[in-house]
A and B are shown apart, each in its own frame.
Chain A
Amino acid sequence: MVESIRAYVLLSGIWVRSTMAYRTSFVIMTVSQFAITFVDFVALLVMFSRVDQLGGFSLSEIALLYGTSSLALGVADLALGNIEHLGRRVRDGSFDQMLIRPVPALVSMCADRFALRRVGRVGQGALVLGWALLNAPVDWTAARVVMTMAMVLSATLIFASIFVLGGAIQFWSSDSAEVANAFTYGGNFLTQYPMAIYPAELVRGVTFLIPVAFVNWYPTLYLLDRPDPFGFPSVLRFLSPAVAVLVVAVTGLVWRTGLRRYRSTGS
């Protein structure tokens, strides 16, 4: 584990150094990453110039959801978002290179083309979350502080797992990178808003099937001390860390199965 982390830091460090050779380009790309993702929040602000609540939630409450989801997705995307290019490496056989290195293939793949510019997205998520934590009507207790940290950590693990799952699927179907986007960026968009605006079947789906509702929705209900609008059991709001661990375990299993299935290219 320590060895893997060391390898990851080393490999991504190489990419950071190569990025820094074009410093202006790096700054422009980072700022624009920030701005592109911030556009979603601007849309929210424009909506709130016309109404003062959405699905029964105020702007600062939605910002809590939005900030958590964006920060978590941003960190996951920064750390291992490039795994979405696995399909290309499977197609042209260059994934072989990853297998002969003295580093786990997953580590090698995650660090590949590590793009530091993605801190732009992390920055905008952190900014919105910071603002929300200061302004949302949360009755702060020690338990709620712990819950906030657990929420951000679990959310990051859940999104990271979805990235890896999206990559692993490409062992089977190398052209389906965009399907993964529907779950990562789609999951991010979905969880930027309170589940209260979605129909119950959809919320049931993202609770029990693809558990992105645990990214922020259930812990936030606890932080805001609100009843579940769908009447789901209140134990759900404490389950995010457990769900995150479960998702990570399943992802590990799928990745290994996919890896065993990889047969390189012909000729």
Chain B
Amino acid sequence: MRTTGERQRLGPLAAIAGRSFQRYATYRTATFAGLFTNAMFGVFVAYTFIALWSQKPHLGGYDRTDAVTFVWIAQALIMPVATWGGGFQADFSERIRSGDIAIDLYRPTGFIPWWLAVDLGRASFHFLGRSVPTIMVGALLFDLRMPATAATWLLVVLAAYLAVVVSFGIRFLVSLTAFWLLDSQGVEQVATILGMFCSGMILPLVVFPGLAGDLLRGAPWAAFIQVPADIWLGKRTGFAVARGVAFQVGWAVLLLGASYVALRRAEHKVVVQGG
């Protein structure tokens, strides 16, 4: 049972997320255009994977259908999880440059919950507007493996939202560097490269051999696509699902904790320009 205080805190956050959802929902043409691009890349990457898996039919414990399904899951998650960065970051950087960020620091919801709510609202729209249709296009064109039970679907949704939170933690820390560097573009680009490569977006992390593979599968980016995909494909069942989700929760807590610490230090750097 929630206390009144909790309700007062969560009400506004839900409202913020709802508005953020609506904001992204207004760009219909852009959504269709983006979907088209996801679909094109989905087709092309799928054939490169088919070429690879036709020679190594059990590479990384995936069969051909798993590999092709992974391609479409990765394409479906680019936007909501913001694999390459983005989402709330554009607004955030702009507000640091203009100094409006000082207003956000005084919001009664708290600074991090505010931006997290904005980003979760955005992601929710992208799940519906981008992920679902991307998977549908993929399923029309290729033979995809779908989650077998309703429980698996629920776990996939949970893992996908946790992926957004982990991604938010990384993006928040990246954007926060602007307090020190004034311009976070360079750091953002490095984060993009890491996101593209370490998430499994370009090649599933199960393919990477040896120590590099172990490191990649333990890094926070593995929470973006690899964990949700392994639940989707049934590579993780029973206790392994719990371990995967715990892995995501662990990174989410760690990154959000680091965000709070970094934010406290950043606050000392804010200089509000007088007029």
Chain A positions within 8 Å of B, measured between CB atoms, are 25, 28-29, 32-33, 35-36, 39-40, 42-43, 46-47, 49-51, 53-55, 173, 175-179, 181-183, 186, 189-190, 193, 197-199, 202
| Contact B47–A199 (Cβ < 8 Å) | yes
Which of A29, A54, A175, A176 has a CB less than 8 Å from the CB of B189?
A29
B37 adjacent to A29 (CB under 8 Å): no
Question: Which chain A residue has the least Cβ–Cβ distance from B189?
Answer: A32
**Cβ of B29 < 8 Å from any Cβ of A?**
yes
**Given A50-B52, A51-B56, A175-B30, A43 contacting B203 (CB threshold 8 A):** yes
Which residues from A are CB-within-8-Å of B59?
50
Given contacts A50-B207, A175-B29, A199-B47, A186 and B189 within 8 Å (CB-CB): no
Residue of A nearest to B29 (CB): A175
**Is B183 in contact with A25, judged by CB distance below 8 angstroms?**
yes
Chain A residue contacts of B10, Cβ below 8 A = none
> Nearest-CB distance from B74 to chain A (Å)?
12
Provide the main secondary structure of the chain B interface. Answer: helix
A94–B90 CA distance with the chains assembled, in angstroms: 22
Give the residue of A55, A181, A198 whose beta carbon is less than 8 angstroms from that of B37: A181
Q: Hey, which chain A residues are within 8 Å of B202, CB to CB?
A: 39-40, 42-43
Q: Are B207 and A39 interface neighbours, CB within 8 A? A: no
What are the residues of chain A within 8 A of B190 when measuring CB–CB? Answer: 32
The answer to whether A178 touches B48, judged by C-beta atoms less than 8 angstroms apart, is no
CB-contact partner of A178 in B30, B185, B186, B192, under 8 A? B30
**0/1 string, B202-241, CB within 8 A of A gives 1:** 1100011100000000000000000000000000000000
CB within 8 Å for A32 and B193 given contacts A51-B55, A189-B44: yes
**19 residue pairs A–B, Cβ–Cβ below 8 Å:** A35-B189, A36-B192, A39-B193, A39-B196, A39-B202, A43-B202, A47-B207, A50-B207, A50-B209, A53-B55, A54-B55, A175-B33, A176-B29, A178-B37, A181-B37, A182-B37, A189-B41, A197-B48, A202-B43
B133 within 8 A of A: no
Taking the closest CB of chain A, its distance from the CB of B238, in whole angstroms, is 29
Question: Which among B30, B36, B186 is the interface contact of A29 at CB below 8 angstroms?
Answer: B186
What's the A-B contact tally at a CB cutoff of 8 Å?
A: 94
Q: Do the beta carbons of A35 and B193 come within 8 Å of each other? A: yes
Is B14 interfacial (CB 8 A cutoff)? no
Interchain CB contact under 8 A, B52 and A54: yes
- Chain A residues whose C-beta falls within 8 Å of the C-beta of B29 in the assembled complex: 173, 175-176
Q: In the assembled complex, which residues on chain A have CB atoms less than 8 Å from the CB atom of B192?
A: 32, 36
10 smallest A-B Cβ distances: which pairs?
A: A175-B29, A32-B189, A178-B33, A28-B186, A197-B51, A182-B37, A182-B40, A43-B202, A186-B40, A179-B33
> Could you tell me if A178 and B197 are in contact, using CB atoms closer than 8 angstroms?
no
**Among the listed A25, A53, A175, which residue makes an inter-chain contact with B185, where contact means beta carbons less than 8 Å apart?**
A25
A interface, by DSSP: helix, strand, loop or mixed?
helix
* Nearest-neighbor residue (CB-CB) of A188 within chain B: B44
Q: Which residue of A lies closest to B27 (CB)?
A: A175
B52 with A51: CB separation less than 8 A: yes
B96 contacts chain A at the CB level, 8 A cutoff:
no
Give the distance to chain B from A181, nearest Cβ to Cβ, in Å: 5
Inter-chain contact B44/A186, CB cutoff 8 Å:
yes
- Residues from chain A with a CB closer than 8 A to the CB of B196 are 36, 39
Please state if A193 and B51 are interface contacts (CB–CB under 8 Å). Answer: yes
CB distance from A133 to the nearest CB of B (A): 23
In the complex, what residues of B have CB within 8 A of residue A28's CB? 185-186, 189
Q: B34 at interface (Cβ–Cβ under 8 A)?
A: yes
* Most chain B Cβ neighbours within 10 Å, of A47, A51, A175, A190: A47
Given the known interface contacts A29-B185, A46-B207, A50-B207, the answer about A179 and B36 at a Cβ–Cβ threshold of 8 Å is yes
B107 to chain A, nearest CB (A): 30
Q: In the bound complex, what is the Cα–Cα distance between A42 and B30 (angstroms)?
A: 31
Is B193 a contact partner of A197 (Cβ separation < 8 A)?
no
* A51→B30 CA distance, assembly (Å): 39
Inter-subunit contact A178/B36 (CB<8 Å): yes
Chain B positions 169 through 189: 1 when the CB is less than 8 Å from some CB of chain A, otherwise 0? 000000000000001011001
Which residues of B lie under 8 Å from residue A178 when comparing CB positions?
30, 33-34, 36-37
Q: Give the distance to chain A from B75, nearest Cβ to Cβ, in Å.
A: 12
A207 to B222, CA, bound (A): 38
Chain B residue nearest in CB terms to A36? B193
By a CB distance below 8 angstroms, the chain A residues around B197 are 39, 42-43
Determine if B50 is an interface residue (Cβ-Cβ < 8 Å): yes
Q: In the assembled complex, how far is the CB of residue A14 from the closest CB belonging to chain B, in whole angstroms?
A: 21
A46 surroundings in chain B (CB, below 8 A): 203, 207-208
